[in-house]
Chains A and B, each alone.
Chain A
Amino acid sequence: MTSPPRQLTLEEWDRRHADLLTQGLREPPYGGRLSRHVETEGDLRLRHLRFDNSAAALRLWNFLLTENQRLRAARQKGERLVGAMKDLGTVPVMAYALPGLRAFYPDGAWWTPCLMECSDRLLQLAGTLGADDSFCPVRAMLGAFHTQEHFPEPDLLICSAGAVCDDFSAIAARLERMGRDILWWEMPRRRQPEEDEPACLLPGGLSAPQAQVDCAREELERIAGALGGLAGCHLDAPRLQAGIQAANAVRGALQALRQTVFTAPGGPLPALEMQIAEMLAIHFCSDRQESLGALSDLLAEVRRRVQAGQFAIGPEAVRVYWVNPVADLRAMNVLESCGGRLCGSDFMFTHALDPIPEDLPGFEALARTALADPMTGPALDRGQRLVTECRQNRIEAVVISRIPGASHCAWEGASLRELVASHTGLPVVELEVPPVCDALLPTVRTRLEALMETARARRARSKPGPAA
């Protein structure tokens, strides 16, 4: 059932799917042809993507693209749905620790215009609801709440406030004004502890004043009370600890996958699938057990490929670190077609990748993890992790992907670029990726090709010359 890694078009995948079935492929209930998502869900973008040809990748894609159905089925079974917003990775750990709750991120609707190539008209709808195109594409969430077609209405909406981006904060406030009850919780802006101020270590190697951790912890305890009320079951310490362990199992699988892919001589898994796999960490794509299964399959596949010396992306490709998620998934394919290979990433939720400390009381551990969110602190902190990972992963070039309209992108790009350049000397390019980037492809390609060219020239210069 295995074959050498290759990237397939949607049509090619359908043929391969039929072949795999004849070879005895056993799929989960959400399995099937990838092209059915175009036919039934209108996910037109799939026609323009290139997919990894492994059965593990097929499972990943089918898992991702059936989330709406999964949520609706859960609702029908009587489960309660929690719409977590903005914190990207913290509230779902608590929600999934309770029976009968499923958490998801309505924020995820920001990819719907991409997947549906704007045929969903969510962005236009958001404009009529008060969030025009000066806001980041996450405004699609407003439209999705309005149409109720892309996810079911959550039973409880929870949103972090404070040290969050302005776009999201403004859009969530608009959502509240449109009649949704939102349970807000305070996320302090992470800062360096002052001299003699009690402080603690955070996952990812950062530190923060204990007072800020206490604030976040108290807020998370309050959120846990609301979740417990919804579940009809108290989120006690053993339950939370079990939830943290289960979340860490997913994070562990993802870390192993990243480590294997980023350190292999060639690219055993393409960038697009890597980005999708990382997304599973934030809310388990609404099924924690299945997300672990999907990641375990991917990990087994990449380990097999590495052992066999088989790579989807050749060893000559430039090792690239990518900063920020792309609004158009196609951009990840473009990276590879321009000669790059994903060897490091910060898709704005690195705190959801790091293991949650298991040797601390549960809420303290979660509070520390939440405070390690790269978006709650200065760009300098984010940049330092970027520099460290560039060195660890022998990165040759950095791409800072701008999200159109996003408040943080206006400032952090320059800071990150300067930090990377001064600490590593690596070439850096900034580019903006809208939800459907076809019209900008020539520009995106040109900038990426120039970056690869520069990186290859540096590589050539750094090789020892012939002996005199």
Chain B
Amino acid sequence: MEIIVTSPWTPLEWIEAHGLEPRGVWGLPACDRHALAEGVCAFAQRLRALAGTPSSQPMIFTTACDQMRRAADAAAEETATKVFLFNLPATWKTPAARRLYHQEVKRLGRFLERLGGRAPDAAGLWSVMRDHDRRRQAERARASLEKAGRTASRGAPLALVGGPALPGQPNLCELIEAAGGTVALNAAEPGERGLLPPLPGPQTGRADPGDPFAILCDHYFDHIIDVFQRPNSRLYEWLGPRLTERRVRGLVLWVQVGCDLWRAEAMSLREAFGLPVLVLESTETGGGFAARDLNRLSAFIESLR
């Protein structure tokens, strides 16, 4: 059974170790467009719409933002889809927040068992964790190769920062490259920002690598890099060295219409890194990209050359 995951901060390993198949919402085929209700985030509405499709699989929402929480409520109340709302702590410096994350992963396990999953033993969980770790390592290597290729290209190096892109929405990397830029850093979703560093356990070489559940939870909890965190300094600390190392000359901030959290960062990003920021806002839940925005993107890149 597939389980639809809507945030990079839900441990995919935990789902897979339960014998279920996690699938990121970003890779799903586009579904029908819906007119946006006033003020509703396009991504949140899209998830609600997805839950309403007859073939929808169980979905894991998170509390990363108010809109997602409310989309989860709407999906749970108004559709037949099984919905799990994962309480992602916004704070990250306290034992209380860490414990909350651990508890939520445990609660997710009970949800998965109700769906027919089976609780993994330590060896089984380790095995899945190591496999994901290898896949992430390959992903990082691929990203590194791509980065090298992009650095060699003559386009203005840009960072794409922001929230999730939806199926049916334009491929921003391609658009940026078509306009003469190069995506030297993809910090949108999915992207490098959601790529966890190597697991600590398998590399220690100890006979007893420890409790895989606790290691998995801590690994995710300690490496969430996202706009919803309070304080959100991790996001800036993560971006800073990468922008410098990749000689980024401008930021493209991708914001779903109705998303307050990313939109509010535009000025802070500008101030923190001293780089020009172009805010591109999705205009609808799917489909095209306004010609006006293409012109803005082209002009932005032209001005950076």
On A, residues with C-beta under 8 Å from B are: 129-131, 134-135, 159, 161-167, 169-174, 176-177, 182, 184-186, 188-189, 191, 194, 211, 215, 218-219, 222, 378-380, 405-412, 414-415
Contact = CB atoms under 8 A, between A and B. Distances in A.
Interface string B91-112: 1001111011001000100100
Contacts of A194: 107, 110
A352 to B, nearest CB: 20
Contacts of B40: 410-411
A166 B262 CA distance: 10
B230 interface: yes
A114 to B, nearest CB: 20
Contact of A174 (B71, B87, B90, B267): B267
Contact of B230 (A165, A171, A184, A414): A184
Contacts of A414: 37
Interface size class of B (residues with CB under 8 A): 35 or more
18 contacts: A130-B264, A134-B263, A161-B91, A161-B230, A162-B89, A162-B90, A166-B67, A166-B259, A167-B260, A169-B65, A169-B260, A176-B231, A177-B268, A184-B91, A186-B94, A215-B100, A219-B94, A407-B258
A378 B69 CA distance: 8
Contact of A162 (B37, B63, B70): B63
Sorted from nearest, which 10 A-B pairs have the closest CB atoms? A130-B267, A410-B39, A170-B264, A411-B70, A161-B230, A161-B90, A166-B260, A177-B268, A407-B66, A184-B230
Nearest to A132: B263
Given A173-B264, A380-B77, A182 B70 contact: no
A135 B262 CA distance: 12
Nearest to B37: A410
Nearest to A185: B91
Contacts of B268: 130, 173-174, 177
B232 interface: yes
A366 to B, nearest CB: 15
A161 B65 CA distance: 10
Interface in B257-305: 258-261, 263-268, 271-272
Residue picked from A182, A378, A411, A415, most chain B C-beta under 10 Å: A411
Contacts of A406: 39
A164 to B, nearest CB: 7
Interface in B25-72: 37-41, 63, 65-67, 69-71
A221 to B, nearest CB: 9
Given A169-B261, A215-B100, A218-B96, A184 B66 contact: no
Contacts of A218: 94-96
B74 A411 contact: yes
Contacts of B265: 170, 173
Contacts of B67: 166, 407, 410-411
Nearest to A414: B37
A271 to B, nearest CB: 26
A467 to B, nearest CB: 45
Contacts of B103: 211
B100 A159 contact: no
Nearest to B48: A411
Residue picked from A167, A186, A405, most chain B C-beta under 10 Å: A186
A182 B70 CA distance: 26
B286 to A, nearest CB: 19
A121 B305 CA distance: 38
A215 B99 contact: yes
B69 A169 contact: no
A167 B267 CA distance: 15
A184 B231 contact: yes
Interface in B188-246: 228, 230-232
A260 to B, nearest CB: 35
Contact of B87 (A131, A189, A408): A189
Given A162-B91, A163-B69, A408-B66, A186 B100 contact: yes
B248 interface: no
Contact of B63 (A163, A177, A182, A184): A163
A415 B74 contact: yes
B73 interface: yes
Contacts of B38: 410
B85 interface: yes
Given A169-B260, A194-B110, A409-B39, 13 more contacts: A161-B90, A162-B90, A163-B63, A173-B231, A173-B265, A184-B230, A185-B91, A188-B87, A191-B87, A218-B95, A411-B40, A411-B71, A412-B70
A232 B272 CA distance: 35
A186 B89 contact: yes
Nearest to A173: B232
A231 B132 CA distance: 50
B230 A169 contact: yes
B96 A407 contact: no
Contacts of B267: 129-130, 174
Nearest to A162: B90
Contact of B91 (A129, A186, A189, A407): A186
A407 B260 contact: yes
Nearest to B65: A166
A432 to B, nearest CB: 9
A407 B65 contact: yes
Contacts of B96: 186, 215, 218-219, 222
